Amino acid sequence: MRIAVKRAVAAYCALLWLCAVGGFSAMAQTEPVSSKPIVPEIPLVVQAPVLVADAPKVLMAPARLRAQMPLVQWRRRESLNHLYQFDETALVGRTPLILLPGRAEEFQQNSWWKKFRRMTRDNKPFNARYKLYAFIYNSSDELAVQAADFTREANAYFSDFPVQGRAMTLICYSLGGMITSEAMRDPSLLARVDRVFAIAVPFHGSPMFDPEWFTKYLRPGNHSPIRRFWDRSAYRLYLFGKSNLKDGLRWQNFDGSKPLYGKPEVYGHMLVGAAEPYHPHPVTDAFKRKLIVYASYLENPYTNPEKYKKKGVTQIIKMPLYLPRAVVGSLLPIYGVSVHSIFSYMNIQLANLPTYDPENPLGKNERLYRYNDGVFPLTSMLFLPARARPYRENFEDMLPLMDIRSARVFVGIDHVEIGEYARTRRRLITSDALDPKAGARTPHQWLILDLMRPALFPEQKMSLTSHLTAGKGPSKRD
């Protein structure tokens, strides 16, 4: 009986093996079913591109070259610093719209560029006008490398642009804007681009990425030496090994506001320091004519003193807790419950940063950078013209000095909130301080509104001063 059972089991296994072999051989003989990759809801990075290291040798037409552009599909470190498309539909009369995200967004699951893709994916009027692309880069590379790779690929894929009155449109966020600014030095790429939407881009850099200056004056509000040690250590740790940020986002001293700290030399009664010279962008005027800036700043006691003088219910509740919070905060690096608390903290640090003054070259606290988003001063994001004296103007007096194509300024949202990183969507709904009658939207909704206009501020630039002449200042958030 046992022998019969063993033989039956062996025969059954042999039958299964024969079926498997027959199935595999049949599959090998049949032609594989073609299945093109489908772009997932959350786009990531892709297969190795079939592209442009040999751009001068490529002889195929730009349209055919674009058809071979790899899809955004999965993440791979070696596949960075390339242009990707979100679908394989032909461009056919549409405008190329290229996204350049901020730092460290290549591997984030909920990054700015993915949110924008999800918002526009099913928008038929939008997709009838634009085809969306993304330049996904390695955040640890130097700025010059990132810009060179973007320039090379954009020029290769879109070498036939401008065509029939259409040119490329770029949307860049934070560090992606500095890559764009660097890439615009190439005259071929500059001629192919019609508009650049720059979201929270520090065109003149930021004191926060000038370690010697910022560390010297980084002081907690409670003046605790222990807390000061924590703050400086955390700041140095953040910038450790990030030479691309320290070089690419360093304050350019375009207005002479950097103090002469360090070891200045004294000649007679004159104090002479090593003031850093300003090196202007080589195509500033041409670039600014294409530039539409989205900037923001957080309110603080120096931008809106009246608001902070009033003691509402929240302030009254916090008063009994002030002493225990101050004691704990003097010993531990407690900034708050979210990343937005850190931006609020850094907003005050930037506002209190000592700057150059003829009577006190080593630094005087005039709160020149009181308008900032927690990382970058508003004067830098608005790409204000270079001049020999610091910008001491209030917000309303700053606007007539702008010489870019147009701008929107949002009050009360920080550097990551303008990229739609927030705990609640309601937090992001804000009005434009330059056009308060236009209602309130999220930053991405404002962006889509401007992109879908028949002509975005063509002959008539968005009036930067019309609401000011009517006696209106920046609107308060609801």
DSSP state letters, 67-116: HTPPBP----GGG-SEEEESS----TTPEEEEEE--TT-SS-TT-HHHHH
3-state SS of the chain?
CHHHHHHHHHHHHHHHHHHHHHHHHHHHHCCCCCCCCCCCCCCCCCCCCCCHHHHHHCCCCHHHHHHCCCECCCCCHHHCCEEEECCCCCCCCCEEEEEECCCCCCCCCCCHHHHHHHHHCCCHHHHHHEEEEEEECCCCCCHHHHHHHHHHHHHHHCCCCCECCECEEEEEECHHHHHHHHHCCCHHHHHHEEEEEEECCCCCCEHHHCHHHHHHHCCCCCCCHHHHHHHHHHHHHHHCCCHHHHHHCECCCCCCCCCCCCCCEEECCEEECCCCCCCCCCCHHHHHCCEEEEEEECCCCCCCHHHHHCCCHHHHHHHHHHHHHHHHHHHCCCCCCCHHHHHHHHHHHHHCCCEEECCEEEEECCCCCCCECCCCEHHHHCCCCCCCCCCCCCHHHHHHHCCCCEEEEEECCCCCHHHCCCCCHHHHCEEECCCHHHCEECHHHHHHHHHCCCCCCCCCCCCCCHHHHCCCCCCCCC
Question: Does residue 261 surpass a pLDDT of 80?
Answer: no
Q: What was the pLDDT predicted at 310?
A: 63
Percent of residues, the chain, with pLDDT higher than 90: 45
Q: Which range, 116-130, 257-271, 318-332, has the best average confidence (pLDDT)?
A: 116-130
* Cβ atoms < 10 Å from Cβ of 425: 9
DSSP category for residue 66? H
Percent of residues, the chain, with pLDDT higher than 70: 71
Tens-digit pLDDT profile for residues 11-42: 444 443 334 333 333 333 333 322 333 333 33
Tens-digit pLDDT profile for residues 81-122: 999 999 999 999 999 999 999 998 888 878 899 999 999 999
Tens-digit pLDDT profile for residues 156-185: 999 999 988 889 999 999 999 999 999 999
Q: What was the pLDDT predicted at 441?
A: 95
Q: What was the pLDDT predicted at 72?
A: 86
DSSP category for residue 162? S
Q: What was the pLDDT predicted at 326?
A: 47
Q: What was the pLDDT predicted at 282?
A: 86
Tens-digit pLDDT profile for residues 451-476: 998 754 443 344 443 433 333 444 44
Q: Which amino acid is at 441?
A: R
Residue with tokens 């063509």: 458
Q: What was the pLDDT predicted at 306?
A: 81
Give the tokens for residue 436: 């308060």
Nearest-angstrom CA–CA distance, 439 and 448: 14
Q: Which range, 202-216, 312-326, 433-447, has the best average confidence (pLDDT)?
A: 433-447
Residue with tokens 């609640």: 424
Which is nearest to 389 in space by CA: 368, 415, 367, 362?
Answer: 368
Confidence of residue 275 (pLDDT cuts 50, 70, 90): low
22-31, 313-322, 384-393, range with the lowest pLDDT: 22-31
Tens-digit pLDDT profile for residues 401-426: 999 999 999 999 999 999 988 777 77
Q: What was the pLDDT predicted at 221?
A: 64
Tens-digit pLDDT profile for residues 52-65: 334 444 457 888 88
The answer to pTM > 0.85 is no
Question: Does residue 315 surpass a pLDDT of 50?
Answer: yes
Answer for the pair 177, 203: CB distance below 8 angstroms, yes or no.
yes
184-188, 211-215, 228-232, 336-340, range with the lowest pLDDT: 336-340
Confidence of residue 334 (pLDDT cuts 50, 70, 90): low
HSE of 419 in the Cβ direction (CA atoms, 13 Å)? 27
Nearest-angstrom CA–CA distance, 45 and 99: 13
Question: Does residue 331 surpass a pLDDT of 50?
Answer: no
Answer for the pair 173, 148: CB distance below 8 angstroms, yes or no.
no
Give the tokens for residue 253: 């001293």
- H or E element at residue 134: strand 130-136
Q: What was the pLDDT predicted at 104?
A: 87
Q: What was the pLDDT predicted at 262?
A: 57
